[in-house]
Amino acid sequence: MTNKDFQSKIAGITEMLMEDYGKGRVIDEIKNFDYPDKKIVIDILEKLKMVIYPGYYRNSNYRTYTVRNNISIILEDIIYNLIKQIAIVLKYTPAYREADSAVINETSERITFAFLEKMPKIREYIETDIDAAYDGDPAAYNKDEIICSYPGLFAIFTNRIAHELFLLGVPLIPRIMTEYAHSLTGIDIHPGTTIGKYFFIDHGTGIVIGETTVIGDNVKIYQGVTLGALSTRGGQNLRGKKRHPTICDNVTIYSGASILGGETVVGKGVVVGGNAFITTSIPEGAKVSVKSQELTFNYDSSRPVERKEVELDEAWYYMI
């Protein structure tokens, strides 16, 4: 192909796409304001790790010798970028769609500082999450291991950050943060989820926790658990309604269990066994398990298949 033919091909494809962009679909929309920068939002989240864990995560570019100076520099960076990103996303809300830049900037500054004032509370809760992970996992040799390597703790940390922004009415940014954690850990927690103290996620891969879920204190969840909606057929008409379950204090939910529905309440001290499917409320102190499990052994083609029912005992709940 000659250079002239090559340029002609490019021009033809460009014209074809320009025509396709004019069909008025969502994917064709070109808004008159900027979009949030995902890289900057993720960088803010990573710098907030330095604020939450000042002795564990440090920026080697900041050659300062005191915690005070180091945190001050990090905060200045967070504040500058978070104000800019919030100012961008505020235009997604009807109240600020037509607002002038002065109002938007003032609001984004107010939200940013209100959010940063939540840092002591967030740190208090995360300290309890670390304690829960250490106390609940015999494979954890020390708390440093949990802070530096546990995906469950990172997912919880991200949710606690994103949830405070969510409560302050910030669009998009909280979801960008939690989906970033989701992509790294396989743990999907909506920023709207309310989570109490001493929350422990063990292993974690495949966990899904919906927007209106409420989780109490001292709750432990294993991999593959879904805290979801019973049905989403109502679509946008269900927005703002309680669609996901309430999990009370001291509940343990083992791997593969699904608990669905906004009216479903799992009472205090309940233990939910692996692979249970729950759509109704569970009274306080109950133990829930799947009955009539059957194992099939087919180890020799010349002999018939042997079937054996599984005896339900206390060990049944520990499916990890």
Q: What is the mean pLDDT of each run of 10 residues along the chain (320 residues)?
A: 87 90 84 82 96 78 68 92 96 88 95 96 97 95 95 98 97 97 97 98 95 97 95 69 94 96 96 93 92 64 56 46
pTM, whole model, 2 decimals? 0.84
The pLDDT value given to residue 238: 67
The pLDDT value given to residue 289: 86
Q: Are residues 35 and 48 in the same domain?
A: yes
**Pair type for strands 246-247 and 265-266:** parallel
Q: Are residues 174 and 121 in the same domain?
A: yes
Q: Bridge partners of 209?
A: 189, 227
Q: Are residues 50 and 160 in the same domain?
A: yes
The pLDDT value given to residue 315: 45
The pLDDT value given to residue 65: 60
Residue 279: how many CA atoms within 13 Å on its side-chain side? 3
The pLDDT value given to residue 219: 98
For 24, the domain range is 1-28
The pLDDT value given to residue 261: 93
Q: Is position 297 within any domain?
A: no
Q: Which residues contact 49 (CB under 8 A, 6 or more apart)?
A: 56, 57, 157
Cα–Cα distance measured from residue 192 to residue 199, given in angstroms and rounded to the nearest whole number: 16
The pLDDT value given to residue 3: 86
Q: Are residues 268 and 224 in the same domain?
A: yes
Q: Are residues 149 and 267 in the same domain?
A: no
The pLDDT value given to residue 30: 74
Burial of 214 (0-12, 13-18, 19+ CB in 10 A): middle
Q: Could you give the angle at which helices 101-116 and 151-167 cross, rounded to 10 degrees?
A: 130
Number of structural domains found in the chain: 3
Q: Which of 283, 279, 257, 254 is nearest to 270 (CA)?
A: 283
- For residue 210, the Cα-to-chain-centroid distance in whole angstroms is 9
Q: Is position 263 within any domain?
A: yes
Give the count of beta carbons closer than 10 Å to the beta carbon of residue 240: 9
The pLDDT value given to residue 98: 86
Measure Cα distances from 49 to 40, 124, 241, 286 in Å: 14, 14, 32, 38
CATH of the domain at 281: 2.160.10.10
Q: Where are the beta strands (DSSP E) in 160-207?
A: 188-189, 194-195, 200-201
The pLDDT value given to residue 297: 61
Q: Which of 258, 260, 261, 263 is nearest to 275 (CA)?
A: 258
Q: Are residues 266 and 288 in the same domain?
A: yes
